[in-house]
Amino acid sequence: MVQGHAGRSRRSPVRPLMLLALLVVMTVPVYLLVVNSFKSQEDILNSPFSLPLADLTVRHFMDAVRSPQYNVIQGYGFTLFLVVVVDILCIVMAGPAAYAIARSLKRRTQLVMLYFLAGTFIPGAALIIPVIYVLRSIGLANTVAGLIAHDVASTLPVSIFLFVGFIRTIPASIDQAAMIDGAGRLRTFWTIIFPLMRPAVVTVLILNSIGIWNDFVSPQILLSPGSGKYTVTTAIYAGISQYSTDLTKVFPNLLLAVAPVVVFFLYMQRHIISGLTVGAVKG
């Protein structure tokens, strides 16, 4: 007992030091982004780490909101439109597909599951060129509909994977009882199984929403610059590319794009954790 107590009292400092280093690495960029968003160009260049409380101003934020190169309201609105449409279509498609896979023991159904799992290992940027050719062949190149179709397809693999794991924790006897009462497969899923999937659905919605909000490559390439449609990320690029040396425009624009998704993640993180773990253990 004495040796055990002595061992606990002489714990290695490696872990606390690693956590401290990780905290610094994660905190310093956020600090620089927030502080320099309220500074003048001279203060940013001469003392980026300083915090001159007397000289801080919100004028640069107002300029960013009113800038013709970067319309914050329009960028937010179009991105939220994409998030809502893609999330709805993803749930409508991934839910029944996951239910069919989870309730089937046939080999070909499991091969379909492996096919969807393979999609999670393919980097999204590697698919852009093939996607462009496909969208051109069906007449959806440089259109919002083409971007939505791409985003829905890219969110399906992970969504189906999470849904299948969760549905398998729901007893199949519930399905059988519903079918005895005369409910079909689709009605059983939407009226009985789907309401029980709330933790998994919330997790999928959060992950998909953050991914769509942060996506830059897909909207930048799949949408024509002449379309006038900008997401938050592409609008920032369009706005600051002309003023790359004007840091009073770069930092406020970046903070305007990052702040909403960070707040959203911090508020919803407990739902992500519960949704990922609730289907991990059956029973």
pLDDT tens, position by position, 87-115: 999 999 999 999 999 988 788 888 888 88
- In the chain, count H helices and then E strands: 15, 0
The span from the first CA to the last CA of the chain, in angstroms, equals 38
Q: Look up the CATH number of the domain holding residue 266.
A: 1.10.3720.10
Q: Which residues of 154-189 are buried (b: 16+ CB within 10 A; e: fewer)?
A: bbbbbbbbbbbbbbebbeeeebeebeeeebeeeebb
pLDDT of residue 12: 72
265 inside domain: yes
pLDDT of residue 68: 64
pLDDT of residue 245: 64
283 inside domain: no
Question: Do 28 and 87 share a domain, yes or no?
Answer: no
What percent of the chain lies above the pLDDT cut of 70? 86
Question: Do 196 and 261 share a domain, yes or no?
Answer: yes
Model confidence at 280: pLDDT above 80: no
Exposure of 187 in the CB half-sphere (CA atoms within 13 A): 9
Query: Where is the domain boundary, 63, 78, 108?
Result: 63
Task: Domain of residue 129: give its range.
Answer: 64-278
CA angle 68, 239, 38 (to 5 degrees): 95
Query: Where is the domain boundary, 48, 63, 78?
Result: 63
Question: Do 35 and 75 share a domain, yes or no?
Answer: no
**Alpha carbon of residue 104 to chain centroid:** 30
Query: Where is the domain boundary, 63, 92, 110?
Result: 63
**Predicted confidence band of residue 121 (pLDDT cuts 50, 70, 90):** confident
**Predicted confidence band of residue 282 (pLDDT cuts 50, 70, 90):** very low
Note the pLDDT tens digit of each residue in 42-69: 888 888 888 877 777 788 777 777 766 6
Q: How many domains does the chain have?
A: 2
Model confidence at 270: pLDDT above 80: no
Question: Do 59 and 79 share a domain, yes or no?
Answer: no
Note the pLDDT tens digit of each residue in 152-181: 999 999 999 999 989 998 888 888 888 888
